[in-house]
Amino acid sequence: MAQIFSTRADARLRLVLIVGAALILLIGAAAFAYVRSGNAWAIGRPAEQPVPFSHAVHAGGLGLDCRFCHAGVERTAEAGMPSAETCLGCHERVWNVTAQFAPLRAAIAQGTAVEWSSVSRLPDHARFDHAAHTQAGVGCETCHGKVEEMPRTVKAESLSMSFCLDCHRDPLANQQPAGAVFARDAPPAAELQAMRPHGLQAQRYEHYGIEVSPLTRCSTCHQ
């Protein structure tokens, strides 16, 4: 009766096992690297927009203030998008390229909304309040990056939970002085403003000997 296993069967088995284990590790490592990479969080990927809008031209070149278009950023949870009227207010006079502004004109004619595509969307169970953050001295750039240099708007940070927590654990590192929240290229703040007296930061407490900041409690951001 012939040998069922050749003399090299053992070596082959070992090879297969080693290669298999290595593959599994590699796949795991690749997956881990991927979910932590900017690609998985869509960093740097532009979204299809109804009108080819360039922040580099408007905010960078012309120097428009963020609040000119995102008017609610200091008052409401959502920063707000400019109305079609706001866009056409200038573009009736300058750079009046009819074809590009068709969606805006249609919106005004029909009274419907212009649907821009969000690039910095948080998941459903997380709540973000623009007003609370700008009032607390968090600058736009902290989360949105150098928007004024973007010809097509892209996501600059992962906006993952760990990104949020990095700041919530040490908020002072990212706070700007009152006047610099909307400034471009604000120099690293030399004098940091004290936390507002009613802010959550004022309510640090201790439980089982651990100091806890309400800023890192689940219910502060999640709903």
Partner 1 sequence: MSARLPPRHGPDPAPEPPQPAALRIGLHNPAERRDALKLMGASLALAALAGCDDPDEFGHPLHAPARASDAEASAADYATVLELDGLSRGVIVRTRNGHPIKVEGNPQHPASLGATDIFAEAAVLSLHDPNRSRRIRRDGRPVPAAMLDEALAMTRAELQARGGRGLRILTGPVSSPTLARMLGAVLAAFPEARWHQHDPLADDAALEGALRAFGKPVVLVPDLGLARTVLCLGADPLGHMPGHLRHARDWAAARAGGRAPRLIAAEAAPSLTGARADRRIPLGPAEAESFARAVATMLGVEGLAAGGSHPAAADVAASLREAGTEGLVMAGTGQDAATHALAHAINARLGSMARRLLPHPLARPEPMGASLAALAAEMAAGEVTHLLILGANPAYDAPAALGFGAALRRVPFSLHLGYRQDETARLCPWHVPLPHPLESWGDSRAFDGTPAIRQPATALPSEARGEVEVLSALLGRPVAAREAVEETWRVEWGEDDFSERWPAALEAGVAGEAPDALDLPLSAGWDRPTAPLQGGLAAIFSPDPGVRGGAEAHEAWLQEMPRPLTKIVWGNAALMAPATAAGLGLSSGDEVELSLGGRSILAPVWPMPGHAPGCVTLPLGGGRRAGGPVGEGRGFDAYALRPADGTWVAQGLSLRATGRKLEVVTTDSHHRLDPGDAIRTVAPGGSLPQPERDASLYRDWPYPGHAWGMAIDIDACIGCNACALACQAENNVPVVGPLAVSQGREMHWLRVDRYHHGPEDNPEASFQPVPCMHCEQAPCEPVCPVNATLHDHEGLNVMVYPRCIGTRTCSNNCPYKVRRFNWSDHRRFLDTPARNPDVSLRPRGVMEKCTYCIHRITTARSTASTEGRALRDGEVETACQRACPTRAITFGDLNDPESAISRARRDGRHYAMLGHLGTRPRTTYLARIATDAEDAP
Contact residues for partner 1, defined by CB under 8 A: 42, 45, 47-48, 71-72, 74-75, 77, 80-86, 107-108, 110-119, 121-125, 127, 129, 131-132, 135-136, 196, 198-200, 202-208, 212, 214, 217-220, 222-223
Comparing CB distances to partner 1, the nearer of 2 and 218 is 218
Contact 195, 136 (CB under 8 A): yes
Q: How far is the CB of 173 from partner 1 (least distance, A)?
A: 20
Q: How far is the CB of 26 from partner 1 (least distance, A)?
A: 20
**Residue 128 DSSP symbol:** -
Least distance CB 201 / partner 1 (angstroms): 11
Of 60 and 74, which has the nearer Cβ to partner 1? Answer: 74
Structure tokens at 55: 């922040």
What kind and span of H or E run contains 33? helix 9-36
For the bound state, the minimum distance from the C-beta of residue 56 to partner 1, rounded and expressed in Å, comes to: 20
Run of H or E residues at 22: helix 9-36
Give SS3 for 216. Answer: helix
Instruction: Name which of 8 and 207 has its Cβ closer to partner 1.
Output: 207
Beta carbon nearer to partner 1, 4 or 218: 218
175: three-class secondary structure by DSSP: strand
Write the burial class of residue 144 (CB in 10 Å: 0-12 exposed, 13-18 middle, 19+ buried). Answer: buried
Smallest gap from residue 134 Cβ to partner 1 (A): 9
**15 vs 172, beta carbon nearer partner 1:** 172
Chain CA centroid to CA 172, Å = 19
H/E stretch holding 206: strand 205-207
CA 39 from chain center: how many Å?
13
H-helix or E-strand containing 212?
strand 210-212
Nearer to partner 1, 4 or 178 (CB): 178
- Compare residues 3 and 219 and give the one whose CB is closer to partner 1: 219
Minimum Å distance from CB 28 to partner 1?
15
CA dist 197 and 175 (Å) reads 15
Closest contact distance (angstroms) between CB of 165 and partner 1 is 14
